[in-house]
Amino acid sequence: MPRSPKTTVTVRMYNVGFGDSFLVTVTRGKITWRMLVDCGVFPAGQTRPISQSAQMIVEDLAALAPAGSPPHLDVVVATHHHVDHISGFADPAWTRVQVDDVWVPYVEDRDDPDGKILRGELTVAAHNLRGLIATARMRLSAADDGARAKLAVAEVFAVNSEGADPATDRLLGRNDTTFLNKPVPRYVPDRDPAENVIPTTVPGVTAHILGPSRDPNDVKRMKPPKSVAWLKAAADERPADADTRPLFDGVFAVPLSRADPYIPASLRETLASLDLESVSNAEELLAAAAILENSVNNTSVYFVLDVRGTRLVFVGDSQYGAWEHVLNDPEALKLVTDPAFYKIGHHGSHNATPQRYAKEVLGHDHYAMMPFGAVPQWPSIPEGKLLTALEAAGTHVIRADTAEPGPQITVDPQRRWSEVSFTVA
Ligand SMILES: [Zn+2]
């Protein structure tokens, strides 16, 4: 009887800093399948400039390609349009890479009615917020360092939420920017559930697309319920404000009547309480920016790679609304229960891994990778309680910044990446 070939799956986390870039390789006999999940970094927390990281990844792919063949990826996934996930795709090095399939959230699809509305809301809100922040900064007295620092953080959020256009061009194949073979992007999830189970070139290996939800109400549910939050977010601490003053009155050039349909309800409520004459405005703008940041995170592609029964869970930066969409669906819940591997959401922040997931669903003795580099403005990431809960469950957490070699774990001698490997029967 011929021996059936062994299957291995390896996840390599590039040490980009505060950002994601994961190379997943599945090998069975002579077949090799490769997927890259994200390529971006948040500049204030970078290990090296993202162009260097992108070129390093392309060089690695070139070294793996058979002689005379271009660097190749079966799939590129861009989970969501934050710069810390996609900015690296702006680098021209990608022009020489053949990519068979590109997965982006349906929010980026200019021809999708749901996507268009959502994308419009997020983009307009980000632009408007930057305008508000600029105005607030001009009104600050020179001595108000505290408020100035808060505005700087708010601006960072707002810029992040505006997306990275040259990178998006490459992913969508626009403006003469694309990969070697000009792939047409696949917007996920599809409206047809059957299309959301995507086969690979390896027999028995499939990807299940579980998010983002196509229900706009899900995506707009940005604030975590207090009972399951790791911490109370700053945005939750404000009393509900019934103030009905026009949103941008006297502050921003867009009249409320025109801006209103594009602004998510929770952002509108936050901004309605703005009082730009008072010093507290920096706090308010920061809260609004944080809500917008969460909203974009909830557009993340959330998927499970099933390697002949060994499951790997990739959640992008999905936060509460997005997680509940998965955890409340019995079939999806089964797929994310007791996986071999979990890509920790949103760099280990308090609101991106539900307590229920860490304590009850994830199971014991698994591997989790945390793409992380310190950002001075965000000392509360990663969240200590999350790491404690994962540790209590016996999860092997591999941090990009402090990875150590161990069973199944390899760390590049120059610390450019760390890897975890699984052998599948
Ligand atoms: Zn991120």
Q: Please count the other Cβ atoms lying within 10 Å of the Cβ belonging to residue 60.
A: 15
Supply the DSSP symbol for 315: -
Helix, strand, coil % over all residues of the chain, rounded to 5: 40, 20, 40
Residue 80 CA, ligand 1 centroid: distance in Å: 8
Cα distances (angstroms) measured from residue 407 to each of 252, 366, 411, 421, 423: 56, 12, 11, 9, 12
Residue 82 CA, ligand 1 centroid: distance in Å: 7
Across the beta sheet with 396-399, the strand order is 197-199, 205-211, 302-307, 310-314, 341-343, 367-370, 396-399
Among 282, 262, 371, smallest CA distance to 16 is for 371
Cα separation of 356 and 104, whole Å? 28
Cα separation of 80 and 1, whole Å? 47
For the chain, state the CA radius of gyration.
21
Residue 347 CA, ligand 1 centroid: distance in Å: 6
Residue 185 CA, ligand 1 centroid: distance in Å: 21
Residue 1 CA, ligand 1 centroid: distance in Å: 48
Residue 47 CA, ligand 1 centroid: distance in Å: 15
Q: For the chain, 425 residues long, give each residue's pLDDT as a single digit of tens.
A: 667 789 999 999 999 999 999 999 999 999 999 999 999 999 889 999 999 999 999 999 999 999 999 999 999 999 998 999 999 999 999 999 999 999 999 989 988 887 777 777 777 777 777 877 877 787 777 777 888 888 888 888 878 777 668 899 999 999 899 999 999 999 999 999 999 999 999 999 999 999 998 876 675 553 333 322 332 233 333 333 322 222 222 222 233 333 344 445 555 554 554 443 443 467 777 777 777 777 788 889 999 999 999 999 999 999 877 898 899 999 999 999 999 999 999 999 877 898 889 988 998 889 999 999 998 877 878 988 899 989 888 999 999 999 999 999 999 999 999 999 999 97
Residue with tokens 């790491």: 387
Let me know: does 185 contact 172? Beta carbons within 8 Å: yes
Q: Could you tell me which residues come within 8 angstroms of residue 296 by beta carbon, excluding any fewer than 6 positions away?
A: 80, 81, 82, 122, 160, 161
Residue 404 CA, ligand 1 centroid: distance in Å: 23
Residue 221 CA, ligand 1 centroid: distance in Å: 18
Residue 372 CA, ligand 1 centroid: distance in Å: 9
Residue 341 CA, ligand 1 centroid: distance in Å: 18
Let me know: does 129 contact 136? Beta carbons within 8 Å: no
DSSP assignment of 317-354: T--HHHHHHHHTSHHHHHHHSS-SEEE-GGGG-TTSS-
pTM of the model: 0.84
Residue 383's pLDDT is 86
Residue 30 CA, ligand 1 centroid: distance in Å: 35
Cα separation of 32 and 419, whole Å? 17
Let me know: does 207 contact 200? Beta carbons within 8 Å: yes
Cα separation of 341 and 370, whole Å? 11
Residue 21 CA, ligand 1 centroid: distance in Å: 10
Residue 278 CA, ligand 1 centroid: distance in Å: 32
Residue 41 CA, ligand 1 centroid: distance in Å: 8
Please give the structure tokens belonging to residue 259: 């801006």
Residue 410 CA, ligand 1 centroid: distance in Å: 24
Residue 228 CA, ligand 1 centroid: distance in Å: 21
Q: Which amino acid belongs to residue 158? A: A
Residue 155 CA, ligand 1 centroid: distance in Å: 16
Residue 13 CA, ligand 1 centroid: distance in Å: 14
Cα separation of 289 and 5, whole Å? 51
Let me know: does 263 contact 132? Beta carbons within 8 Å: no
Residue 19 CA, ligand 1 centroid: distance in Å: 6
Residue 198's pLDDT is 98
Residue 96 CA, ligand 1 centroid: distance in Å: 26
Residue 393 CA, ligand 1 centroid: distance in Å: 24
Let me know: does 20 contact 46? Beta carbons within 8 Å: no
Residue 348 dihedral angles phi and psi, to the nearest 5°: 90, 20
